[in-house]
Amino acid sequence: MNIVVLAGGISTEREISIVSGTMACRALRGKGHRAILVDVYCGDSRISAAADGQGADSRLFPEAYDVDAAAAYMRSFDGQIESMKRTRREFFGPNVLALCEAADVVFMALHGEDGEGGKVQAVFDLMGIRYTGSGALGSAVAMDKELSRKLFAADGIPVAAGIVLQRGEAHGPAAENGVGLPCVVKPCCGGSSVGVEIARTEEEYERALETAFGYEREVVVEQYIEGREFSVGVVEGKAYPVIEIAPLVGFYDYKNKYEAGSTIETCPAELEADKTAEMQRYAELAYRTLKLQCYARMDFMMAKDGSLYCLEANTLPGMTPTSLLPQEAAALGMDFPALCEHLIEVSVRGL
């Protein structure tokens, strides 16, 4: 297949997206596909996106291709992103849409808002471009943590007590906001735990709000659940094995997510069979509740008394061989290249 692996963008997760895209592109090429790596925002002015009358020609999707060079080209724009945002109105970079139209399918390696939140998916739906992952509606709903929390609660999926605050509006101390201390403060639509902090004092609470509001206008404040953290992938509506996430220091923040050796990940998680089944059942229900498609990953906390709490849904989870969903697939005997290919097959079937 001719495949565009779409990555990069302008979210706080740009670098992680490039890593995911690079790994996925290399894996798909290893399976015999003509995959190319494209930055959704910066595009590639070096490529002529004109295709001949027979469809996407071999110049666009060459048999020989340097994935690492393509990733380096994407990173060459890193220092220019902010200035580009000030001088440009359009989101899609040079040749991006034409390349995506020429491809058989787009492998979505985007993370964060403006990529994972439904906007790109909506454009592709209107243009008839096939892509991996959930559609525009499910992507948008899952990206909004407050909205997804409300839908989870309405469908009987347990969530921690929480409130949403707006930038610029008066707010009282944590002890009086209905959540109390300790609490978790996080941007409403962010990812990779960027801007997320745990506050145990009023001073920490105020600092955490200041940090989170630096990223977004809406902030979610949730009850802090002390216990064990887990994640469950769901592919075609069926839960994968549960994986436990145990940071050596602190919580599962950006550093512990992506710095090698900072977190112990166990798959399948060491849980009683009934607790595993309960978490997988909630993961599948969350998938249906948010109208997700093809694949996603649900994150959970388990309190010391065994109570489960669904934290959020990730519609485009990290895609490196050591990311959580690939580790769950490996527990089923599916290696990383096979998983990447399987997600394309699942997505194409669902369109």
b/e 44-56 (16+ beta carbons within 10 angstroms → b): beebebebeeeeb
- ∠ CA 8-11-15, rounded to 5°: 45
Among residues 64, 66, 71, which one has the least CA distance to residue 38? 71
- Check if the beta carbon of residue 307 is closer than 8 Å to that of residue 325: no
The β-bridge relationship of strands 2-7 and 105-108 is parallel
**What is the rounded CA–CA span in Å between residue 108 and residue 9?**
11
Which tokens go with 66? 């340097």
Which SS3 state, helix, strand or coil, does residue 252 take?
coil
Residues, the chain, total? 351
Cβ neighbours around 64 below 10 Å, total: 6
Among residues 243, 238, 148, 152, which one has the least CA distance to residue 191? 148
The residues assigned a catalytic role are 13, 192, 258, 297, 299, 312, 314, 318
Which residue, chain included where needed, has tokens 């070096």?
Answer: 46
**What is the rounded CA–CA span in Å between residue 5 and residue 107?**
5
**What is the rounded CA–CA span in Å between residue 150 and residue 98?**
38
